[in-house]
Amino acid sequence: MNTDDIVRTFLDFYRERGHELITGSSLLPPPSDPVLFTTSGMHPLTPYLLGRPHPQGRRLVNVQRCLRTTDLDEVGDLTHLTVFDMLGSWSLGDYDHPQSLRWGYELLRDGFGIPREKLYVTVFGGDEQVGPDLESLDTWRELGVPVESTRDENWWSNGPVGPCGPDSEIFYWTGDGSPEGSPTSDSRWVEIWNHVHMRLERGEDGGLVPLPQVSVDTGMGLERLVAVLQGRRSVYETDVFEPWVRIVPTLWVLGERDMRIVCDHLRSSIFVIGEGVRPANTGRGYVLRRLIRRVLTVLWRDDDSRTLSDLPVELVGTGTEREVLFDEERRFGQLLERGRRVLSRSEFRGPLSEEDYHYLHDTHGLPREWVAGLLR
Q: Which residues bind ligand SER (CB under 6 A)?
A: 40-42, 88, 156, 194, 196, 217-219
Q: How far is the CB of 105 from ligand SER (least distance, A)?
A: 16
Cβ proximity to ligand SER, 193 vs 370, nearer residue: 193
Q: How far is the CB of 41 from ligand SER (least distance, A)?
A: 5
Q: How far apart are CA 100 and CA 360, in angstroms?
A: 51
Q: How far is the CB of 223 from ligand SER (least distance, A)?
A: 14
Cβ proximity to ligand SER, 156 vs 171, nearer residue: 156
Q: How far is the CB of 198 from ligand SER (least distance, A)?
A: 8
Q: How far apart are CA 291 and CA 325, in angstroms?
A: 10
Cβ proximity to ligand SER, 3 vs 194, nearer residue: 194
Cβ proximity to ligand SER, 6 vs 292, nearer residue: 6
Q: How far is the CB of 43 from ligand SER (least distance, A)?
A: 8
Cβ proximity to ligand SER, 42 vs 366, nearer residue: 42
Q: How far is the CB of 81 from ligand SER (least distance, A)?
A: 14
Residue nearest to ligand SER (CB): 219
SS (H, E, C) the chain: CCHHHHHHHHHHHHHHCCCEECCCCCCCCCCCCCCCCCCCCCHHHHHHHCCCCCCCCCEEEEEEEEECHHHHHHECECCCCCEEEEEEEEECCCCCHHHHHHHHHHHHHHHCCCCHHHEEEEEECCCCCCCCCHHHHHHHHHHCCCEEEECCCCEEECCCCEEEEEEEEEEEECCCCCCCCCCCCCCCEEEEEEEEEEEEEECCCCCEEEEEEEEEEEEEEHHHHHHHHCCCCCHHHCHHHCCHHHHHHHHCCCCHHHHHHHHHHHHHHHHHHHCCCCCCCCHHHHHHHHHHHHHHHHHHHHCCCCCHHHCCHHHHCCCHHHHHHHHHHHHHHHHHHHHHHHHCCHHHCCCCCHHHHHHHHHHHCCCHHHHHHHHC
Cβ proximity to ligand SER, 194 vs 215, nearer residue: 194
Q: How far is the CB of 217 from ligand SER (least distance, A)?
A: 5
Cβ proximity to ligand SER, 10 vs 332, nearer residue: 10
Cβ proximity to ligand SER, 40 vs 215, nearer residue: 40
The answer to whether the CB of 221 falls within 8 A of the CB of 86 is yes
Q: How far is the CB of 88 from ligand SER (least distance, A)?
A: 5
Residues facing 194 on adjacent strands: 169, 219
